[in-house]
């Protein structure tokens, strides 16, 4: 599960990383929580043949997907995440998987390791960021919900998958990361069906993320400054490849 994330890169860095034609200014956000507005990237209108201009655009949506068929949002659960393994066939996400796949730019996400109650150990928060740089793009789904009075709200959820071995020590789920070379294929909902992008919904490589232990300041939504990312210990070591029975190295997704 991904219940908090951060976007502290500059608008210019986000625009360049995601190939956007333009992007309005926004402040760094260190502790983004469900129901808050988040930035997502969608496929824009195609330009004339031969044009080198980007055709992706950024929009603001509410974090917490609301299917269009929901009558009363107060009686529907808040869908901040969607399981990649079942999203294609699940009623809440089926239409979005086919028609409204998006990218969610982030500087990283937070996750909590919660030991068994009988252990007596305290939960530990981790700031999980990409080792390669400042930005990562999560796979997302978008839906527009319309109320009875005609007002509309754009909403979104982040797709998750089983964690790799490293992040699995903290939590069993992690966001799906879409690589830059796969942006176009993921966003292409006109010619690309869900089955054509199923191979993109896998856990990140073992050394893609760095997991840094942080204080419990991040637990409270009101704490929105850089102090929520201050390390309180050493980063989690990258998991070593599992050994097969023949003695060779074998990476495991689970």
Find the DSSP H helices in the chain.
11-18, 94-99, 165-168, 183-187
Spatial distance between the Cα atoms of 82 and 102, rounded to a whole number of angstroms: 13
Contacts of 209 (CB under 8 A, 6+ apart): 108, 128, 129, 130, 131, 166, 167, 174
pLDDT tens by residue, 77-117: 999 999 999 999 999 999 999 999 999 999 999 999 999 88
Q: Which of 41, 179, 33, 164 is nearest to 109 (CA)?
A: 33
Sign of the dihedral defined by the CA atoms of residues 28, 215, 114, 213, in that order: positive
pLDDT greater than 60 at residue 245 = no
List the helix and strand counts (H, then E) for the chain.
4, 14
Segment holding 63, helix H or strand E: strand 56-63
Burial class (CB in 10 A: 0-12, 13-18, 19+), 71: exposed
Per DSSP, 47 falls in state -
User: What average pLDDT does the chain have?
Assistant: 91
- How do strand 152-162 and strand 56-63 relate by DSSP bridges? parallel
Spatial distance between the Cα atoms of 84 and 158, rounded to a whole number of angstroms: 9
pLDDT tens by residue, 203-233: 999 999 999 999 999 999 999 999 999 999 9
Spatial distance between the Cα atoms of 176 and 199, rounded to a whole number of angstroms: 11
Residues noted as catalytic: 2, 111
Predicted pLDDT at 54? 67
Per DSSP, 150 falls in state S
pLDDT tens by residue, 183-193: 999 999 998 88
Q: Which of 216, 179, 211, 222 is nearest to 197 (CA)?
A: 179
């Amino acid at each position: 599960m991904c219940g908090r994330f951060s976007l502290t890169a500059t608008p210019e860095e986000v625009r360049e990383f995601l190939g956007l034609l333009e992007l309005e200014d926004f402040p760094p956000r260190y502790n983004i929580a469900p129901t808050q507005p988040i930035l997502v990237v969608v496929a824009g209108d195609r330009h004339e043949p031969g044009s080198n201009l980007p055709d992706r655009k950024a929009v603001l949506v509410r974090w917490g997907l609301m299917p269009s068929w929901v009558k009363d949002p107060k009686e529907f659960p808040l869908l901040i995440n969607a399981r990649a393994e079942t999203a294609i066939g699940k009623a809440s996400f089926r239409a979005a998987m086919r028609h409204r796949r998006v990218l969610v730019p982030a500087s990283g996400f937070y996750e909590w390791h919660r030991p068994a109650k009988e252990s007596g150990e305290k939960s530990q928060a981790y700031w999980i960021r990409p080792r390669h740089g400042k930005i990562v793009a999560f796979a997302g789904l978008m839906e527009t919900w319309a109320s009875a009075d005609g007002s509309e709200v754009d909403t979104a959820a982040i797709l998750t998958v089983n964690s790799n071995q490293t992040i699995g020590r903290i939590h069993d789920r992690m966001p799906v990361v879409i690589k830059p070379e796969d942006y176009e294929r993921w966003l292409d909902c006109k010619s690309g069906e869900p089955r054509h992008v199923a191979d993109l919904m896998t856990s990140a490589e073992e050394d893609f993320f760095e997991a840094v232990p942080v204080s419990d300041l991040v637990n409270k939504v009101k704490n929105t400054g850089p102090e929520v990312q201050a390390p309180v210990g050493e980063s989690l070591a990258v998991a070593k490849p599992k050994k097969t029975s023949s003695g060779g190295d074998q990476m495991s997704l689970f």
